[in-house]
Structure 1
């Protein structure tokens, strides 16, 4: 049964969904059995959204993101991007993973950003170099264009990965716990820089995390997934917090309420009015 408290925001309802995930179930095989990772998950992502998949480890959120990327075919349901069914990877969906060792160490920072543009024949070399430098400037790494990955810090490698993804100008940027391997201070800095970059470029983002605090900082819309197998627990359109809100009473109160939504197993969720929540849809 679904309960809807307050309507969807006018800005969302006035737009057509860019990404439509319809009752997607995902499975994988082990030597012993077939494991269901997600069960009939549905959601829409609109242009310019910072949409977060939030849930505990093992709820299938990363598997779901890989399915949106085209790496895993749903056992049931359908994924459509801009009206077209997703059946394989494509340059309209670029993934930034948790680890940044996928930057070829023999290529400079600029060459790493140029590489997918050239490999996909999206641009010729001169145009690819111009675009790479443009996005390196956006992430504050123009001065390191000729540096090699081994000379960079973890946060700088993360910025290279983001620049490389945005240089492809995908319809949607997919980020799978991209800052989880960073120390706490660098992670907070990268969250801040990601939001600043979004303010400037206004890309569409699908972001995976198991951190309630990160979801509240990064996302303007949050999908809560239950523990394994992942089912939609609730969908929230929330006023985003900034990093200065982390220690505040409102932030902690909201984080606690999301924790209850995620882990309350009695099926009788009580949702009080909260100015931080524009819309909450609960699925039981």
Structure 2
């Protein structure tokens, strides 16, 4: 009998600890967090504000170096930013206001020297069509709604054909109805393209709707509390008993324990600093 091994994870986060500093101390944001993301996963980092989930995403993007542990993408250690990771942030001002929608998408492709001018324009129109904005290709960002700007940012990231798309609470600033519509559009786009997604949110409902797998992080410092399978849920199941029961279970897992203070190291030269 032939045994087929499971494919290796695309992204591996191994015992990752991250820290940030102010003038007097160094505070641990996450403590020995580990998880794997596989091809075409919709993997969600869920936790309360301040648990380090956005810091984790920035570390995967290559913007923050680990204090300890390692991040590997396709088996290679992440040492800095790269085109293999597309990033979409929460802010709406991530588009160049003096460029049209198409030009914003083309700019990344041309800057990375991935395609010639004609090919870049063709790729831009393809992804704008996928996110439903081809008719607005010649519009400027200031004429778009918040949700439309986020769709342009998603198109710009996907145009680079990254190995993984990183999204940091991209819909948090939108009104409730637009947020729900954006979640549905993201899932419809995933059905088309089957990209791999690492998504950060502090909304339990959003995590279950968007994610196929959900990692729960404890209050600060962020540590892995649990990992749940969310394949069974979508926007149409939010009112079901199973959805509500899972939401309640997640809330209990996140908040049933008292918060533990983060490890703090004094900066060298400060009173109480370690020798």
| TM-score clears 0.5 | yes
The match for 2:34 is: 42
Helix, strand or coil at the partner of 2:154: helix
Correspondent of 2:223 among 226, 231, 235: 231
Is residue 2:208 matched to residue 1:219? Answer: no
- Describe how 1:72-91 pairs up with structure 2 within 5 A: 72-91=64-83
8 A Cα contact 1:110 1:132, kept in partner: yes
CA deviation map 1:121-169 (0-9, x unaligned): 1111111000000000000001000000000001110110010010000
Please give the alpha-carbon distance, in whole angstroms, between the structure 1 residues aligned to 2:6 and 2:229.
Answer: 15
1:262 offset after TM fit, Å?
A: 1.1
What TM-score do the two structures reach when normalised by structure 1? 0.88
Q: Which residue of structure 1 aligns with residue 163 of structure 2?
A: 171
CA distance in 1, matches of 2:179, 2:6: 34
1:79-228 mapped onto 2 (5 Å cutoff): 79-228=71-220
Contact 1:55-1:61 within 8 A present in 2 as well:
yes
* Gap regions ≥5 residues in structure 2: 259-275
Q: How does 1:18-33 map to 2 (within 5 A)?
A: 18-33=10-25
Unaligned residue ranges in structure 1 (runs of 5+): 1-10, 267-284
| Cα drift, residue 236 of structure 1 | 1.3
Separation of aligned partners in 2, 1:32 and 1:212: 35
Paired position in structure 2 for 1:6: none
Tell me the C-alpha RMSD between the 2 structures: 1.2
Bigger shift: residues 172-181 or 245-254: 245-254
- Partner residue in 1 for 2:235: 243
Q: Structure 2 length normalisation: TM-score?
A: 0.91
Kindly state the Cα deviation for residue 249 of structure 1 after the two structures are TM-superposed. Answer: 2.1
In the other structure, the counterpart of 2:9 is 17
Structure 1 residues 243-252 or 205-214, which shifts more?
243-252
